[in-house]
Chains A and B, each alone.
Chain A
Amino acid sequence: MKKYSIFSLAKNALSGHKEWPKMWRSPEPREFYDVIIIGGGGHGLGTAYYLAKEHGLKNIAVIEKGWLGGGNTGRNTTIIRSNYLWDDSAHLYEHSLKLWENLSSELNYNVMFSQRGVMNLAHNEHDIKEIKRRVSANNLNGIDSFWLSKEEIQKKVPIMNTDNLRYPVLGASYQPRGGVARHDAIAWGFAMRADEMGVDIIQNCEAHQIRTKNGTIEGVETSKGFLRANKIGVVASGHTGVLAESAGIRLPLQSKPLQALVSEPIKPIIDTVVMSSAVHAYVSQSDKGELVIGAGTDSYNSFTQRGGFNIIEDTIRAMVELYPVFGKMKMLRQWGGIVDICPDASPIISKCDIEGLFFNCGWGTGGFKATPGSANVFAHTIAKNEPHQINSAFNLDRFASGRLVDEHGAAAVAH
């Protein structure tokens, strides 16, 4: 295992940082794999990592149409929390949060997980009731979550305008164990450790069609030829529906652009994550000093990774009202990622009618926080052919049985 330490840093500094070994190989694809994961983002690479580490599978490939973590893993606002309302979601996201807490040392790769706390603001009577209900539900599930009064918020975030605005700030929920992490690092860390265990990571390899025969998986047509496989896990976020369609499976997903933007870097000014679903703005400050601001999804389906300008306009309007001090700041970059949204705003981690075909999708607007947890239970589902206890509720059958996990409220930002 490649170890990173103060000594390896010093040693490589002496050679001008030119001798660092490659973090992973770039092999040509083999003809056959036990498991092929489609999608080289955090969830996909993590799945390969846990398949190799916890389930002893060795003949695994991850195929990625672009570069590692170049999709939604590199496009989100990196917020991590587990304060979801329903038991099923709380267990899933808390499983993930617990993995995050130990991930840097497990991977010996710094994912820069910073537990700076996450605040969800209440702006009206209804918000207060809903958020207090969610705090209580969290406490019953053993999740750290409590109610902050307006005065406590002012103490934590002095720059916030709590009173002189259309929707005054009346209180908030707060999860101290929540926070942010480095988005690339999670993809690279998983990739490096999976590669060490023999997983083939194949970039610039686009999946074209999933081939099946008599209800069983055969393999996948890619831009690098046909790859046979016993099992295929599709973790392609916005494009999962397109790939499912090629295998004749219709998924309850709608793909939409979700936007984010960052400002010019400034000195430390906000040391926690503040989210508000009522006025639709959330913000944290990166280690470089940029404000990382999350906007909403467009109302229409689209695969253009940019999104509508009116969405950013709304978000900026709310930001400036909540933090007047940001009014003169310049925004450096804006982008969109294509998220796949489920009707109940909860993910699908499930097998399907086709033997050997598995889906991990529908994370919608909040998949980053779940990366290690989702990968962990998805690996279990693929290896054992049945769901882990934690993801058994997130199956495809729920859209026939009606047992939905409705998390529109806890999805923090109302989309």
Chain B
Amino acid sequence: MLIINCPYCGPRDQSEFSNGGEAHVKRPDGSKEIGDREWGEYVFIRANPKGLFYERWVHTHGCRKWFNCVRDTSTDEILVTYKLDEKKPNLNNFKSVVKTPSGEPEVGSGNFTVEK
């Protein structure tokens, strides 16, 4: 189970939170000109990387506020959480531990806590 650092309440147990999927998804402009395919992509397609991922969480059983997060989906390590109005952090600031696209990270999933 994850410990998530809510930007408003501090570190709390994952069971207090709900996941909101990919963050920073932009609704396409010019809805009249856009075809079914682009709409379909906006509605149904979300990033699904193995590695660094921008995502949203909501502190459902706490302050009930939404916030964003960068998590490594190959280890579940949460690298940073930030408020919705803050600029999204540059992913180059973080080290990706996945060496090949489908490969496993050097440290087994979740075991980064042991190293720290």
Contact = CB atoms under 8 A, between A and B. Distances in A.
B73 A208 contact: no
Interface in B35-52: 35-37, 39-41, 43-46, 48-50
Q: Which secondary structure dominates where chain A touches chain B?
A: loop
Given A299-B18, A301-B55, A400 B101 contact: no
Contacts of A300: 19, 55, 71
Interface residues of B, number: 33
Interface residues of A, number: 35
B109 A242 contact: no
B109 A239 contact: no
B101 A246 contact: yes
A94 B114 CA distance: 47
Q: Which secondary structure dominates where chain B touches chain A?
A: loop
Contacts of B109: 302-306
B2 A308 contact: yes
A104 to B, nearest CB: 32
Contacts of B76: 302, 304
A35 B73 CA distance: 31
A131 interface: no
Contacts of B101: 208-209, 239, 242-243, 245-246
B71 to A, nearest CB: 8
B74 interface: yes
Contacts of B73: 255, 301-304
B81 to A, nearest CB: 13
A351 to B, nearest CB: 16
Interface string B1-16: 1100000000000110
Nearest to A309: B1
A208 B100 contact: yes
Contacts of A251: 45, 48
A206 interface: yes
A92 interface: no
Interface string A385-399: 000000000000001
15 contacts: A206-B100, A236-B102, A251-B48, A254-B48, A299-B18, A302-B109, A303-B50, A304-B110, A305-B109, A310-B1, A399-B44, A400-B37, A400-B40, A401-B36, A402-B40
